[in-house]
Amino acid sequence: MPRRARIAVPGIPWHIIQRGNNRSACFYAQQDYRRYLETLADMASRYDCEVHAYVLMTNHVHLLLTPARKDSASLLMKHLGQCYVQYINRHYRRSGTLWEGRFRSCLAQRDEYVLACYRYIELNPVRAGMVAHPRAYPWSSYQCNAQGRVNRLMTPHDDYDRLGRSDSERRAAC
């Protein structure tokens, strides 16, 4: 039976989850995390997606992004996955798949859900027991969204912008 087509609405944020095959590691060293983020930034620009939040866990990834076109998010994930797997396979002299099937996604249509996704994504390392506070985890958007660190990958969502009139007000509201 063919798989169902995704519901894709331009301008509506997506919460995307992509897991490692058999829940195996997707990132082995700091340079792998950096490469993934660099490739994500390139693909977000190329396919016209705004990235609002992310966390790169050892064996999976969470993204909150808004596509500008109907096919933007799918194209971003397709090419991001291909580029990153090619890098991993070359670098670690391995072959085969890295990801567990296609990525999962859900639309974040309601305002409350967008902000809940920000929190859910950025608190993932705390829930996993990897760190006591999200500021201690280097591979998430927390440093940008909650601490004001500049990150060329990130674009605040309108709901996040409405939390305050200034960056400091928005960070305090988180």
Tens of pLDDT, residues 111-166: 778 999 999 999 999 999 999 999 999 999 999 999 989 999 998 888 877 777 77
Residue 6 counted as domain residue = no
Residue with structure tokens 């190329």? 46
Residue type, 150: V
The answer to whether residue 4 sits within a structural domain is no
Residue 6 pLDDT grade (very low, low, confident, very high; cuts 50, 70, 90)? low
Domain that residue 71 falls in:
14-173
Q: What is the mean pLDDT of residues 6-33?
A: 91
Q: What is the CATH number of the domain that holds 71?
A: 3.30.70.1290
pLDDT tens per residue, range 26-77: 999 999 999 999 999 999 999 999 999 999 999 999 999 999 999 999 999 9
The 49-56 sheet, strands edge to edge: 49-56, 60-67, 14-19, 104-107
**Crossing angle of helices 30-46 and 72-91, rounded to 10°:** 150
Q: Write the DSSP string, 14-63.
A: EEEEEEBGGG--S--SHHHHHHHHHHHHHHHHHTTEEEEEEEE-SSEEEE
5 part of a folded domain:
no
Instruction: Give the count of domains, the chain.
Output: 1
Q: Which residue has the tokens 């076109």?
A: 69
Tell me if 138 is assigned to some domain. Answer: yes
pTM, two decimals, is 0.92
Q: 4: pLDDT confidence band, cut at 50, 70 and 90?
A: low
Local structure of residue 12 (DSSP, 8 states) = S
**Sequence-ordered list of residues with C-beta below 8 angstroms from that of 170, at least 6 positions apart, any chain:** 156, 160, 161, 163, 164
Q: Is residue 125 part of a domain?
A: yes
Residue 65: helix, strand or coil by DSSP? strand
DSSP label at residue 131: -
Nearest to 39 by CA among 70, 79, 68, 98: 79
Contact 67, 14 (CB under 8 A): yes
